[in-house]
Amino acid sequence: MLRADMFHRLLRCGAVAGPSSCPIHIPFDINPDPTRTAIVLPWEGGPGEQSRSAEACLAEAVELAGSIGLQVLHTATVPLRTHRPATLLGQGKVASLCEVITEHAIELVVVDAALNPAQQRNLKREWGCKVIDRTGLILDIFGERARTREGAFQVELAHLRYQRSRLHQCWEVDPFQRPDRRCRLCRGSALRDA
């Protein structure tokens, strides 16, 4: 069965016909509810060190999220003194944001900065929801706005290249050498077991 987001991508690039020309009943809602979103802006430096204010950067991120139909329920500007290698943010701020995320039942957190794959994975684990950075958000916007098949394929290729570095390195575990260990890409448990 196709997921709704996969169907929308196929519909945009013209690979499947729209619902008006399709006599088959589609078992899911074509217009799903907007995704409940929070936007976090890690802010480093004082007022004289950057040319734009934190409020302007946060307003831009909210507009970007709104342009693809995300429902922004919470915004936060987090001052950064140092970059934490595991989560970019300090543990106290991660914990306080976790409370807000569970309180508002947030499904997606957009971190308006560049996250490396480990930081993205750790924040996803801590917050219990999907986490994307600014690059992921912009790629989603380009994917929504692509009008031609070539444009949609180019955006999809860029998105796959972006996601390639964020996959667990499951391919290093050979299931034929160790038949008792199964490679589970989504959970990444094959690497922990190996």
Q: What percent of the chain has pLDDT over 70?
A: 66
On average, the pLDDT of the chain sits at 78
Which pLDDT tens digit goes with each residue over 62-91? 999 999 999 999 999 999 888 889 999 999
Statement to judge: residues 41 and 121 lie in one domain = yes
Domain region containing 66: 33-145
Residues 111-121, mean pLDDT to the nearest whole number: 92
Measured CA to CA, the distance from residue 55 to residue 91 in angstroms comes to: 24
pLDDT of residue 19 exceeding 90: no
Which pLDDT tens digit goes with each residue over 33-67? 888 999 999 988 665 556 678 899 999 999 999 99
**How many structural domains compose the chain?**
2
Residues 141-166, mean pLDDT to the nearest whole number: 91
pLDDT of residue 16 exceeding 80: no
Domain-embedded: residue 8: yes
- Using a cut of 0.85, tell me whether the model's pTM lies above it: no
Domain-embedded: residue 184: no
Statement to judge: residues 12 and 78 lie in one domain = no
pLDDT given at position 12:
60
Statement to judge: residues 135 and 102 lie in one domain = yes
pLDDT given at position 166:
77
Domain-embedded: residue 77: yes
Statement to judge: residues 43 and 63 lie in one domain = yes
pLDDT given at position 182:
40
Domain-embedded: residue 175: no
Statement to judge: residues 139 and 62 lie in one domain = yes
Statement to judge: residues 73 and 85 lie in one domain = yes
Select from 91, 134, 127 the least CA-distant residue to 111. Answer: 134
Domain-embedded: residue 164: no
Statement to judge: residues 97 and 9 lie in one domain = no
Statement to judge: residues 93 and 28 lie in one domain = no
